[in-house]
C-alpha cells in the first residue's frame, strides 16, 4: 500500500487528523533541506510536501516566490530535490513525501524519466499546481505505473461537474484550496470551508486536505475539525525567510509552529 493511503488509514484508527507541512526544496540552501524534513517529522508531520522551485510560480504569493528565488540562487533543480528525498528516505522509510511544483521542470525532464527518478527516490505522490486533471492523463499514467499517486486541487470556484471529474481522477488525498487567491493569502472562513467539504465528501471517499490561509494553532485546529488533513506552507516558509543565515533558529521556529499546530489539532478532534 502507498505510504499516503497507509498514513490516512492509520490516522483513522486513532481519530487524529494529518498535519502536512510544505517547504521549498533548496530553501534557504540545498544542504539544509533534508535536515528540515527530519525536523518536520520529529515535530509532528504525517506527510511532507516538498516544493520544487520554479522561476515563475504563478499560483504563489510573495512568501513562496521568495523561497523559490532563494533556492534558485543555489541552482536547485528538480533533480536536486529528488536527490534530497532520496537522502531523506535513507533514514525515514515511513513518512510519505509528496512533490509539489509547476509543470515545466517535469516537462523538460520528460514524464517517463521523471517518474522513474521520483520512484527511485522514494516519492509517494506528485501535485502539479498548473496541471488540472484535463491535461494530466499522460503524467498520471507514468506515475501510476510505478506506484505513485497524483494529487489534485479543488477550489471554492470548482463547480459540481468539475468536482465529479476531479474526484474521479484523484488519488491519495484531495487538496482543497480554502480561499480564492495565492498561497499565503488572508485567513480562511471555516464555515465556508466546511460547506464546501461537505459538498465534496458526498462525491468521494478520498481524504480531504485543506491548505491556504492556515497560520497558527487556532486555524489548524478549526480546520482539523472539518477536514482530514491540514496543510501549512507559507507560515513555515516564513520561519526560513526570517532566519536565512541561522540554521538552528530556522529549526527551532519550524518545530515550534509545528508542535503548536499538532497539539491544537489533536486537542480539537
Partner 1 sequence: MTDLKAVTELPTKTGHFGPYGGRFVSETLMSALDDLSELYERLSKDPEFQAEYDYDLAHYVGRPSPLYFAERLTQHVGGAKIYLKREDLNHTGAHKVNNTIGQALLAKHTGKPKVIAETGAGQHGVATATVAARLGLQCTIFMGATDIERQKLNVYRMRLLGAEVVSVSSGTATLKDAMNEAMRHWVTHVDDTFYIIGTAAGPHPYPKLVRDFQAIIGRETKRQSMALEGRLPDALVACIGGGSNAIGMFYPFIEDESVAMYGVEAGGHGLDGDDHAAPLCKGKPGVLHGNRTYLMADENGQIMPTHSVSAGLDYPGVGPEHSYLKDIGRVNYVAATDQEALDAFHVLTEIEGIIPALESSHAVAFGMKQAAKMDKDKILVINLSGRGDKDIHTVAAIDGIEI
162: how many CB neighbours lie within 10 A of its CB? 15
Which residue in 184, 219, 215 sits closest to 51, CA to CA? 184
Can residue 67 be called a binding residue for partner 1 (CB under 8 A)? no
Can residue 131 be called a binding residue for partner 1 (CB under 8 A)? yes
CA-CA distance, 260 to 265, in Å (whole number)? Answer: 9
Q: Which of 8, 54, 88, 173 binds partner 1 (CB under 8 A)?
A: 54
Cβ atoms of 194 and 237 closer than 8 Å: no
Each residue 206-225 as x (binds partner 1 by CB under 8 A) or -, in order, gives: --------------------
Q: How far is the CB of 58 from partner 1 (least distance, A)?
A: 5
Half-sphere exposure of 123 (CA within 13 A, CB side): 32
Catalytic residues: 49, 60
Q: Which of 43, 65, 219, 255 binds partner 1 (CB under 8 A)?
A: 65
Cβ atoms of 24 and 61 closer than 8 Å: no
Can residue 198 be called a binding residue for partner 1 (CB under 8 A)? no
Can residue 107 be called a binding residue for partner 1 (CB under 8 A)? yes
Q: 140 to 179, contacts with partner 1 by CB under 8 A?
A: 152-159, 162, 166, 177
Q: How far is the CB of 131 from partner 1 (least distance, A)?
A: 6
Q: Which is nearer to partner 1, 78 or 220 (CB)?
A: 78
The per-residue b/e assignment along 31-42, b for 16 or more CB within 10 angstroms, e otherwise, is ebbbebbbbbbe
Tell me how far apart the 2 most distant CA atoms of the chain are, in Å.
48
CA-CA distance, 43 to 266, in Å (whole number)? Answer: 13
Q: How far is the CB of 107 from partner 1 (least distance, A)?
A: 5
The footprint of partner 1 on this chain (CB under 8 A) covers a number of residues equal to 44
Q: Which of 132, 201, 249, 268 binds partner 1 (CB under 8 A)?
A: 132
Can residue 116 be called a binding residue for partner 1 (CB under 8 A)? no
- Cα first-last separation, the chain: 26
Cβ atoms of 231 and 20 closer than 8 Å: yes
Binding piece for partner 1, criterion CB under 8 A, among 19-27, 89-97, 105-113, 118-126: 105-113
Can residue 195 be called a binding residue for partner 1 (CB under 8 A)? no
Q: Which three cell numbers stand for residue 162?
A: 468539475
Q: Which is nearer to partner 1, 66 or 229 (CB)?
A: 66
95 strand-pairing partners = none
**Which parts of this chain interact with partner 1 (CB under 8 A)?**
54-62, 65, 72, 75, 77-79, 102-109, 129-132, 134-135, 152-159, 162, 166, 177, 180-182, 185
Amino acid at each position: 500500500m502507498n505510504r499516503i493511503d497507509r498514513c490516512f488509514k492509520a490516522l483513522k484508527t486513532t481519530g487524529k487528523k494529518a498535519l502536512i507541512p510544505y517547504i521549498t526544496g533548496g530553501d534557504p540552501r540545498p544542504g539544509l533541506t533534508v535536515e528540515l524534513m527530519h525536523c518536520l517529522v520529529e515535530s509532528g508531520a504525517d506527510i511532507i510536501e516538498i516544493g520544487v522551485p520554479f522561476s515563475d510560480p504563478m499560483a504563489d504569493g510573495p512568501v513562496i516566490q521568495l523561497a523559490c528565488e532563494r533556492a534558485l540562487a543555489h541552482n536547485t533543480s528538480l533533480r536536486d530535490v529528488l536527490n534530497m528525498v532520496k537522502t531523506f528516505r535513507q533514514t525515514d522509510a515511513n513518512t510519505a513525501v509528496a512533490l509539489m511544483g509547476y509543470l515545466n521542470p517535469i516537462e523538460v525532464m520528460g514524464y517517463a524519466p521523471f517518474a522513474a527518478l521520483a520512484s527511485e527516490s522514494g516519492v509517494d505522490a506528485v501535485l502539479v499546481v498548473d496541471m488540472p486533471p484535463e491535461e494530466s492523463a499522460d503524467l498520471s499514467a507514468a506515475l501510476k505505473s510505478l506506484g505513485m499517486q497524483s494529487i489534485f486541487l479543488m477550489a471554492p470556484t470548482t463547480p459540481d461537474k468539475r468536482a465529479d471529474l476531479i474526484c474521479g481522477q484523484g488519488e491519495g488525498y484531495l487538496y482543497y484550496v480554502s480561499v480564492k487567491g495565492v498561497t499565503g493569502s488572508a485567513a480562511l472562513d471555516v464555515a465556508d470551508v466546511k460547506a464546501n467539504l461537505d459538498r465534496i465528501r458526498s462525491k468521494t471517499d478520498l481524504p480531504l486536505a485543506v491548505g491556504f490561509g492556515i497560520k497558527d494553532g487556532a486555524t489548524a485546529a478549526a480546520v482539523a475539525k472539518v477536514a482530514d488533513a491540514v496543510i501549512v506552507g507559507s507560515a513555515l516558509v516564513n520561519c526560513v525567510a526570517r532566519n536565512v543565515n541561522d540554521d538552528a533558529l530556522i529549526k527551532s521556529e519550524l518545530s515550534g509552529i509545528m508542535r503548536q499546530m499538532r497539539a491544537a489539532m489533536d486537542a480539537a478532534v
